[in-house]
């Protein structure tokens, strides 16, 4: 069984077996985050891309050598130069970690690190945890290959950006939910900043109107799989 906790923006925590996995741990400058930087504790960090609102507190969290950061090759190189323990991957590749299998998918976005360093391609994440599958889309536009991702994976929960401006907005994310065929859709990457303010009830209503389940999670909320 897995427990998934939402911490605002795109920061998702997954607890599976004995591992704590942080996806895009944006804590310090995240006005929505429900935990303080010194409360952050994990075994693994998985990054979708290098932008500051996703890379977040990675360096501080991973200064503990027991933490492993799973990221695109270029981000991984950058971290290794800082003597951070990192596992490089690239789009389309999967690897079996002790907690489960990680596969990176394409995302239609850009990617650089906060200091401007090239960070490779942005990614989405497919996580297989036992018999459950979680998809975290990272930052992305709507793209038709989401249909292929939905056909190849039986997604239990999909975390999709809905805030518009930098990523999909509500209507594109509703179409993405259809393509991905996810059992539960959780909206992320909205209301953190002015330019990504949306009415999330509109998203929930539209997802329900196509017969799907939308779970709006407030920072600190959890769900069990």
Footprint of Ni ion on this chain (CB under 5 A)?
51, 139
| Separation of alpha carbons 160 and 155, rounded Å | 12
Based on CB atoms, which residue is closest to Mn ion, 47 or 217?
47
Question: Does 24 contact Mn ion by CB under 5 A?
Answer: no
C-alpha closest to that of 122 among 184, 51, 16, 40: 51
Question: Does 139 contact Mn ion by CB under 5 A?
Answer: yes
CB 188 within 8 A of CB 196: no
Based on CB atoms, which residue is closest to Mn ion, 139 or 164?
139
Total of chain residues touching Mn ion, rule CB under 5 A: 2
Cβ 139 to Ni ion, closest distance in Å?
4
Based on CB atoms, which residue is closest to Ni ion, 71 or 129?
71
Strands (E), 65-221: 68-72, 86-89, 94-97, 100-106, 123-129, 132-136, 157-161, 184-188, 213-214
| Separation of alpha carbons 16 and 52, rounded Å | 26
Q: Which residues of 181-214 are buried (b: 16+ CB within 10 A; e: fewer)?
A: bbebbbbbbbbbeeebebebeebbebbeeeebeb
Based on CB atoms, which residue is closest to Mn ion, 48 or 153?
48
Based on CB atoms, which residue is closest to Ni ion, 141 or 213?
141
Residues in contact with Mn ion, shown as a per-residue x/- string from 43 to 62 under the rule CB under 5 A: ----------x---------
User: What DSSP designation does 64 have?
Assistant: S
Question: Does 164 contact Mn ion by CB under 5 A?
Answer: no
Cβ 154 to Ni ion, closest distance in Å?
27
With tokens 């059992």, the residue in question is 183
Look at residue 172 and give the partner it binds from Ni ion, Mn ion, none, a contact being a CB closer than 5 to 8 Å depending on partner kind: none
Cβ 66 to Mn ion, closest distance in Å?
27
Binding site for Mn ion (CB under 5 A): 53, 139
């Amino acid at each position: 069984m897995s427990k998934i906790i939402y911490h605002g923006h795109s920061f998702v925590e997954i607890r599976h077996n004995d591992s704590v996995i942080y996806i895009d741990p944006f804590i310090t400058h995240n006005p929505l985050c429900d935990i303080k930087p010194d409360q952050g504790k994990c075994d693994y960090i998985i990054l979708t891309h290098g932008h500051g609102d996703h890379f977040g507190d990675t360096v501080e969290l991973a200064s503990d050598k027991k933490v492993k950061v799973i990221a695109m090759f270029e981000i991984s190189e950058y971290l290794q130069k800082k003597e951070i323990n990192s596992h490089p991957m690239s789009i389309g590749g999967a690897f079996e970690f002790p907690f489960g299998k990680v596969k990176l998918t394409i995302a239609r976005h850009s990617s650089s690190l906060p200091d401007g360093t090239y960070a490779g391609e942005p990614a989405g994440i497919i996580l297989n945890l036992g018999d459950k599958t979680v998809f975290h889309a990272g930052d992305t536009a709507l793209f038709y290959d989401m249909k292929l991702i939905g056909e190849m994976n039986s997604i239990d929960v999909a975390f999709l950006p809905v805030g518009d401006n930098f990523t999909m907005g509500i209507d594109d994310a509703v179409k993405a939910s259809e393509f991905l065929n996810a059992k539960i859709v959780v909206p992320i990457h909205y209301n953190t900043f002015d330019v990504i303010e949306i009415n999330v009830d509109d998203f929930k209503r539209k997802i329900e109107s196509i017969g799907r389940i939308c779970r709006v999670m407030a920072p600190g909320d959890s769900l069990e799989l």
